[in-house]
Structure 1
Amino acid sequence: MQGEKIIRIAELEIEAIRLPEYRILLAEEIEASIAIEPGVLMLHAVAERERPEKIRILEVYADRQAYEEHLKTPHFLKYKEGAADMVKALRLVDVDPVMMRSK
């Protein structure tokens, strides 16, 4: 539905040997998305402490159109192409907010 926020968790597993390279690519993509795209409301990436190759990204988009536009941006396409052979597994989980706050 247009106007409804898109909230998703991306669960990734990265080739351990490529992790430093992946993190640079991901950081560039997140920085560009937040700086350039008004419809990208939040991108938070974290890694499991004991298994740093397990990355989780909490993504929040203003609406479906903002998400679709994000997928076509040069910075996202650069990330997607650059990370293609680094990603061992990817699962996208659509979620509903229960309580989300930040300071």
Structure 2
Amino acid sequence: MKLYKFGWLFLLMVISVSSCGQKSKKDKTDFSKGDMMIRMAEIEIDSNYLDEYIAILKEEAEASVRLEPGVICIYPMFQKEEPTQIRLLEIYANKEAYESHLQTPHFKKYKTSTMAMVKDLKLIAMKSIDPESMPLIFSKSKQ
């Protein structure tokens, strides 16, 4: 069981590296303006679907950051002792970027194909305390 959990942890670490900090050259987000939209998604997944859900989530998170200039970060993770408890840190350049994200084919595919897998979903709006440090955080992820 410990090897199984380690495998999931490793997979989510790979997803995380590919899903945060890869800002497009054309993305000139000014973090200090304070108009970013940040939220945490708390998701409980039916354990019967965990492998399938992780694969779909990985595809969606990577596509969102790679294809959408306004998606700064989609950082998926799970609780170490409870892998069915997924958490996503989502950072968008602004509300418009978030609303645009909801209309993309990759998000719609994720939403429709995982609907039956999700037992519970909570979306929590967040506010950055220190947005000026954000570029430094992401630059360190490249090291």
**TM-score, normalization by structure 2:** 0.68
Matched position secondary structure for 2:82: coil
1:60 aligns with 2:106: no
RCO greater where, 1 or 2, for CA within 8 Å and sep 6 or more? 1
* Cα distance in 2, alignment partners of residues 96 and 40 from structure 1: 16
1:29 aligns with 2:60: yes
Give the structure 1 partner of residue 70 of structure 2.
Answer: 39
Q: Give the letter aligned to residue 73 of structure 2.
A: M
Aligned sequence identity (%): 47
Q: Give the letter aligned to residue 17 of structure 1.
A: N
Structure 1 residue ranges (4+ consecutive) displaced by more than 3 angstroms after TM superposition:
none
Q: Give the letter aligned to residue 21 of structure 1.
A: E
Matched position secondary structure for 2:75: strand
| 1:65-86 alpha-carbon deviations (Å, 9 max, x no partner) | 1000000000000000000000
* Cα distance in 1, alignment partners of residues 109 and 80 from structure 2: 27
| Alignment root-mean-square deviation, CA | 1.2
* Cα distance in 1, alignment partners of residues 123 and 92 from structure 2: 14
| 1:28-50 alpha-carbon deviations (Å, 9 max, x no partner) | 00011011000000010110011
Q: Give the letter aligned to residue 52 of structure 2.
A: E
* Runs of 5+ consecutive residues of structure 1 not aligned to the other structure: none
**TM-score, normalization by structure 1:** 0.94
1:76 aligns with 2:107: yes
Asked which structure has the greater CA Rg, the reply is 2
* Runs of 5+ consecutive residues of structure 2 not aligned to the other structure: 1-33
Structure number with the higher strand fraction is: 1
